[in-house]
Amino acid sequence: MSETPLLEVENLAVHFPIRSGGFLVTGPGRAWLRAVDGVSFSLQAGETLGIVGESGCGKSTLGRGVLRLIEPTAGRIAWLGEELGSLGNEALRAKRRDMQIIFQDPLASLNPRMTIGSIIAEPLITHEPGLTKAEVNQRVREVMDETGLLPTMINRYPHEFSGGQCQRVGIARAMILRPKLIVCDEPVSALDVSIQGQIINLLMQLQRDFGLALLFISHDLSVIRHISHRILVLYLGKVMEVAGRDSLYLAPRHPYTRALISAVPIPDPALEREKKRIVLEGDLPSPIDPPSGCVFRTRCAHATARCAESEPPLENVDAGHQVACHHWRELGGGPSS
Amino acid sequence: MNALLDVVDLTIRFSTPDGEVTAGDRIAFHIDAGQTVGLVGESGSGKSQAVLALMGLLAKNGRAEGSVRFQGKDLLTLSASDMNKIRGVDIAMIFQDPMTALNPYLTISRQMTEVLIEHQGADAASAKKKSVELLDLVGIPGAAGRIDLYPHEFSGGMRQRVMIAMALLCEPKLLIADEPTTALDVTVQAQILELLQSIREERDMAILLITHDLGVIAGLADRVLVMYGGRIVEEGPVGPVFLEPAHPYTKGLLRSSPRLDEIRGDHLATIPGQPPNLQALPKGCAFAPRCERRFEPCEGEAPSLEAFEPGRARACHLDGPP
């Protein structure tokens, strides 16, 4: 990779201290919840990296940690080669205009007492306080047009809008500063199927028009497959597998990725009924007391003693495809083997 | 054939401060013994209200008309005490969120044995024995030891298993499952779907499965009902409906879901516009404002659900395919 990536994340960790019985225990006895534990990836300008995992795998914390909305415990984040962790609040704020975020619950993320117009204008007024009212208004109308909102809606309030339209408002607010990166935290999960597609198409259109990079966080593998160029599979705060979307879906290497893919119901009765599903036993272990070695071993059909002893490193399978499993060589490739 | 459940012209109205709202309009369908019927629809399609109406659980301002015959009895005309003898016994229900459906103050044991003691006059010891057996059946490890725990001590997937065990206590003939896996992770969803499948085969129990996930329907249901704007717009066996949908809405829904097994180009097909507001339904077909095959008759009168081949019906003014 010759180009400097837009975003480079190395060994990012976000740990939360645990309160027990209402008291924050300090000192060596203190327990930690390891929400994100040593995650590395890079993102090129104009690229979509999908982050997929089940609830509690740390995917939302990862998105917030990258933007330093939650202060990471350890690790390095570089923005166009420049270290973000060392920046002071003022300098970080200036960088933030390039990095925006949209959320899962479109209505809850909009202030109910502000009009759509003032919600969308807010980041602009914050970052460019010198603009006149007319200039702000002009920019708001432009971005509303780009995101499929009618300019006549500018003085309405969020409760007058449907979920899909509220998500468009969230996207317009994120887009008004012309950012280079948008972190999308489950942006279509709360929407009806017929509306999901509209929002996905909008995000992909904006990416083509403005060269946006997207960090697309979702639990929905079908949506992730459609929108991403590359995909990172997260389990209990750790990276299990990273690959281009086609190699991940057509030739997954990690037993967890395989189980995840095989578990997704496909809307085709013939395929769905003959499909061999890998059903994982049990539930996600607690991130407060994760298993030793490989965190997935307690639910893995291929686990051996070695998996409990040492943590598997991320190894290269081929160009752009990495997997963290001691046994990936024996397990072979292909989705069904 | 004698259907287990036969719903005829079920209409559900709510009186609200803003006037009358029709949440269900002449809903008609049947479920045969042992059959699994899927009910698909987006939020506001009226699918949950339809189910609440047939269970006699509508909110106070709601009224249901029509008839809901279950094993020959019209549920809508039953007294509250007669309905209580059917609910939870012959018809059981599981919900999307097991945490809000379980009482957080009572142990699982108490909540399960109560059902058997109330409905079947069982004594405490045999009720507990049967409860443990069912928890075993739904795959809760160490059921005998865990039955005395409280709901919060179980994970989401385990709680849904507890709900299913509880629904099975009186060996119902019909299980109504309202979005049973929507709140669960995909690997846990796979476990619960597998469980429902095996229970269905073992007990010859009918299931009415309500979900917005077409994939879940494809895997589990024999027949499918598609609801839009308070009405059933298409019904038929799962295979033909998914392969050749007859209603433009069903077709649009199938086309607009991103699929794991194929790449659909850069642009997803979508259904333009928004789902309808039940408070202000258009005069004609509720789907007409979003339908690409709309023509004059669609704005005039709502089409009724009519059979066009054996076992399949649609509510659409079109002559040919959608």
Could you give all domains of chain A from N- to C-terminal order, each with its CATH number?
7-98+179-331 (3.40.50.300)
Q: In 10 A of CB B6, how many CB atoms?
A: 18
B181: tokens are 């896996």
Tell me if residue B240 falls in helix, strand or coil.
helix
- Work out the pLDDT band at A23, boundaries 50, 70, 90: low
Q: Do A267 and B218 touch (CB under 8 A)?
A: yes
Distance from CA of residue A107 to its chain's centroid? 20
Residue B119 host element (H or E): helix B108-120
B202: tokens are 């073992």
Specify the pLDDT at position A293: 95
Cβ of residue A280 closer than 8 Å to a chain B Cβ: yes
Contact A250, A335 (CB under 8 A): yes
Dihedral angle of Cα B253, B256, B262, B264, to the nearest 10 degrees? 150
Give me the amino acid identity at B196. Answer: L
Cα separation values, A234 from A71, A257, A295, Å? 20, 9, 11
Residue A197 host element (H or E): helix A193-210
A186: tokens are 């489950």
Give me the amino acid identity at B215. Answer: G
Order of all β-strands in the sheet with A82-83: A32-43, A7-17, A74-79, A82-83
Is 50 exceeded by the pLDDT of residue A1? no
Smallest CA–CA distance from A194 into chain B, residue: B271
Residue that is written with structure tokens 């639990």 in the block: A219
Q: Report the distance separating Cα B96 and Cα B179, nearest Å.
A: 5
Q: Do B254 and A267 touch (CB under 8 A)?
A: yes
Instruction: Convert the pLDDT of each residue in A265-299 to its tens digit.
Output: 999 999 988 888 888 887 788 888 899 999 999 99
Contact B308, B314 (CB under 8 A): yes
Distance from CA of residue B254 to its chain's centroid? 19
In percent, the amount of chain A with pLDDT more than 70 equals 95
**Residue A65 C-alpha, separation from nearest chain B C-alpha, in angstroms:** 23
Tally the residues of chain A: 337
Instruction: Convert the pLDDT of each residue in A131-163 to its tens digit.
Output: 999 999 999 999 999 999 998 899 999 998 888
Q: Report the distance separating Cα A248 and Cα B134, nearest Å.
A: 39
Is 50 exceeded by the pLDDT of residue A336? no
> Which three-class secondary structure string do you get for B138-202?
CCCCCHHHHCCCCHHHCCHHHHHHHHHHHHHCCCCCEEEEECCCCCCCHHHHHHHHHHHHHHHHH
What are all long-range contacts of B82-89, with beta carbons under 8 Å and residues at least 24 apart?
A: B83/B56, B85/B119, B87/B55, B87/B56, B88/B115, B88/B119, B88/B170, B88/B172, B89/B119, B89/B170, B89/B172
Higher pLDDT, A240 or A26: A240
Instruction: Convert the pLDDT of each residue in A244-267 to its tens digit.
Output: 999 999 999 999 999 999 999 999
Q: Return the axis-axis angle of helices A163-175 and A133-146, rounded to nearest 10°.
A: 130
Q: Write the burial class of residue B101 (CB in 10 Å: 0-12 exposed, 13-18 middle, 19+ buried).
A: middle
**Residue B10 C-alpha, separation from nearest chain A C-alpha, in angstroms:** 25
CB nearest to A222's CB, from B258, B266, B270: B258
CATH of segment(s) B5-90+170-314: 3.40.50.300
Q: Report the distance separating Cα B239 and Cα B24, nearest Å.
A: 26
Smallest CA–CA distance from A208 into chain B, residue: B266
Contact A136, A169 (CB under 8 A): no
Cβ of residue A204 closer than 8 Å to a chain B Cβ: yes
Is 50 exceeded by the pLDDT of residue A337? no
Q: Do B215 and A267 touch (CB under 8 A)?
A: yes
Cβ of residue A272 closer than 8 Å to a chain B Cβ: yes
Planar angle of CA B246, B250, B254, nearest 5 degrees: 120
Best of A193, A196, A279 to substitute, by most chain B Cβ atoms within 10 angstroms, is: A193
Distance from CA of residue A59 to its chain's centroid? 6
**Residue A261 C-alpha, separation from nearest chain B C-alpha, in angstroms:** 8
Specify the pLDDT at position A307: 96
Specify the pLDDT at position A27: 65
Instruction: Convert the pLDDT of each residue in B201-256 to its tens digit.
Output: 888 899 999 998 999 999 999 999 999 999 999 999 999 999 999 999 999 999 98
Is 90 exceeded by the pLDDT of residue B155? no
Which DSSP symbol is given to A288? T
Is 50 exceeded by the pLDDT of residue B288? yes
Specify the pLDDT at position B137: 87
Residue that is written with structure tokens 């059979």 in the block: B307
Cβ of residue A189 closer than 8 Å to a chain B Cβ: no
Q: Do B186 and A260 touch (CB under 8 A)?
A: yes
CB nearest to A265's CB, from B216, B256, B258: B216
Which residues from chain B sit within 8 angstroms of residue A280, using beta carbons? Answer: 187, 190-191
Residue A82 host element (H or E): strand A82-83
The CATH 3.40.50.300 portion of chain B extends over: 5-90+170-314
**Residue B243 C-alpha, separation from nearest chain A C-alpha, in angstroms:** 8
Q: In 10 A of CB B163, how many CB atoms?
A: 25
Residue A37 host element (H or E): strand A32-43
Q: Report the distance separating Cα A83 and Cα B178, nearest Å.
A: 49
Task: Find, among B217, B225, B246, the residue nearest to B319 by Cα.
Answer: B246
Q: Do A54 and B186 touch (CB under 8 A)?
A: yes
Which residues from chain B sit within 8 angstroms of residue A219, using beta carbons? Answer: 185-186
CB nearest to A194's CB, from B217, B238, B256: B256
**Residue B237 C-alpha, separation from nearest chain A C-alpha, in angstroms:** 10
Cβ of residue A301 closer than 8 Å to a chain B Cβ: no
B142-157: average pLDDT: 89
Cβ of residue A159 closer than 8 Å to a chain B Cβ: no
Planar angle of CA A255, A259, A265, nearest 5 degrees: 160
A72: tokens are 């990471």
Best of B201, B223, B261, B264 to substitute, by most chain A Cβ atoms within 10 angstroms, is: B261
Residue that is written with structure tokens 């549920």 in the block: B75
Q: Please give the sequence-ordered ranges of beta strands (E in DSSP) within chain B, or none if there are none.
A: 5-16, 19-31, 36-40, 62-70, 73-74, 91-94, 174-178, 206-211, 223-228, 231-237, 306-309, 312-314
- Work out the pLDDT band at A335, boundaries 50, 70, 90: very low
Task: Tell which phi-psi region holds residue B250, choosing left (phi > 0), alpha (psi between -120 and 50) or beta.
Answer: alpha
Planar angle of CA B151, B154, B158, nearest 5 degrees: 110
Instruction: Convert the pLDDT of each residue in A2-12 to its tens digit.
Output: 578 999 999 99
- Work out the pLDDT band at B318, boundaries 50, 70, 90: very high
Q: Report the distance separating Cα B175 and Cα B192, nearest Å.
A: 14
Specify the pLDDT at position A306: 96
Q: Do B219 and A273 touch (CB under 8 A)?
A: yes
Q: Write the burial class of residue B90 (CB in 10 Å: 0-12 exposed, 13-18 middle, 19+ buried).
A: middle
Residue A185 host element (H or E): strand A181-185
Which residues from chain A sit within 8 angstroms of residue B213, using beta carbons? Answer: 265
